[in-house]
Each structure stands twice: as structure tokens, then as C-alpha cells.
Amino acid sequence: MTEYPGLREIPIRDEQVFHGALIDVSHMQVTLPNGRTSLREIVHHPGGAAVVAIDTEGNVTLVRQHRIAPGLITLEIPAGKLNSPQEDPMLAAARELSEETGLVAENLQWLTTMLPTPGYCTERIHLYLATGLTPSAAHPDPDEFVYAVKMPFARALEMVERGELPDGKTALGLLLAYRRLGMDPSPRTNPSDM
């Protein structure tokens, strides 16, 4: 990593202040580039993997779910947490795609690794493009209620542009998949049809 001497914060100590079911929180004291000290509140998360699954007919499969934290019903690309920070994220991506949609992918290619909230959280989400899809039965976790929704990829891109797919990994994954595939999203559906 290139050094930026006027930029780097140096950790002094890091103390866990909350231990949760999903996340932990620590309070890290750091020395700032100006020599002062400051507190950084850090959320520790195991990371996740997510999949843009596009079939040969040009459809993408999203999952509808209730996200009670922001208080919304969302449409998102299939995704889930890593079982541990050491888990191969491509295996996690394949597992979550299969669990939530039943789809098995012949090809998974890395799109990007996204930091959803680098200002305070360790989480990394690994995004993949899945093609060569074979359907089978979905098998979500017992306490997970998600419904697969297949739609034209072009329509999903229009929804991203209108802010109708607010989940960050979903919007970014769809736009990156479009650029990777070079697919023309036209013909555009008529917004009045939505």
C-alpha cells in the first residue's frame, strides 16, 4: 500500500465495547496525522457475498424481502453473510444463490469487492456475475423469507436509474454486470407499464 504520511491514523488501542449476534463494536483510539488522538467507533462484520444471476434470455433473478432495519420491502440480488471471514466468498456466493433462488451457476466471475460503509465498518461484500444457470428448488434458511423475482435485466437497470432498487450492492452489481456484459438495455420498457 502506498504510504501517505499526512493521511494515516495509527491505532493506539482497540477495545471491544459491544458483542452482538451479528456484529461487534470496538472503540479504537488512534493518533491522527496532526498528533492528536481521536476515537474511531468500528463495527466488525464477517463480510458477505452477492450474485447478479443473468440467464440466456436476458433475465436477472432478484429476491424480494422485508428489511426491517430501514423499514422497506426491497428487491435485492441474492446475497448472504460469509460463514467466517476465512470462507471463500465465491463458495458463499454459490451457496446463497442456490438457497435463495434455487439457481445453480456454471460460471461465476468476480465483479468487484465493495466496502458498503468504510467509514465505520469492516464489512466487505464480494460481488459475482453468474451465468450458465440451471434451476432447482430454493431452500432458504428456516427464518429467512425471500421470494425470487425474475425480470428483464433492462428493466432492472431502469429501476436502478430511478432509485427503485436502493440496496447498494444490488444497484452497483447490476450496473457493473451491464458494463461487463456489454448488453444493450434497450428496448426500454414503458415506465407506465411498471
What minimum distance in Å lies between the beta carbon of 134 and a second copy? 26
Could you say which of 88, 107, 136, 179 contacts a second copy (CB under 8 A)?
179
Instruction: Please state, as a whole number, how many other Cβ atoms lie within 10 Å of the Cβ of residue 12.
Output: 11
Q: What is d(CA 190, CA 184) in angstroms, rounded to the nearest whole number?
A: 16
Interface residue with a second copy, options 15, 68, 84, 190 (CB under 8 A): 68
Which strands form 59-67's sheet, in the order they lie side by side?
A: 72-76, 59-67, 147-152
Q: Any contact of residue 2 with a second copy (CB under 8 A)?
A: yes
> Does 169 interact with a second copy (rule: CB under 8 A)?
yes
Residue pair 93/134 in contact by the 8 Å Cβ criterion: no
Judged by CB under 8 A, which stretch of 32-40, 51-59, 92-100, 130-138 contacts a second copy? Answer: 32-40
| Chosen residue from 176, 181, 183, 189 binding a second copy by CB under 8 A | 176
Please list, residue by residue across 74-101, b when 16 or more beta carbons sit within 10 angstroms of its beta carbon and e when fewer do.
bbbbbbbbbeeeeeebeebbbbbbbbbb
Among the residue ranges 51-59, 71-79, 86-94, 131-139, the one whose residues contact a second copy (CB under 8 A):
71-79
143 binds a second copy (CB under 8 A): yes
Binding to a second copy (CB under 8 A) within 72-131 occurs at: 72-74, 76, 110-125
Residue 79 — φ and ψ, nearest 5°?
Answer: -165, 165
Query: What's the distance, Cα to Cα, between the start and end of the chain in Å?
Result: 46
163: contact with a second copy by CB under 8 A: yes
For position 12 contacting a second copy by CB under 8 A, the verdict is no
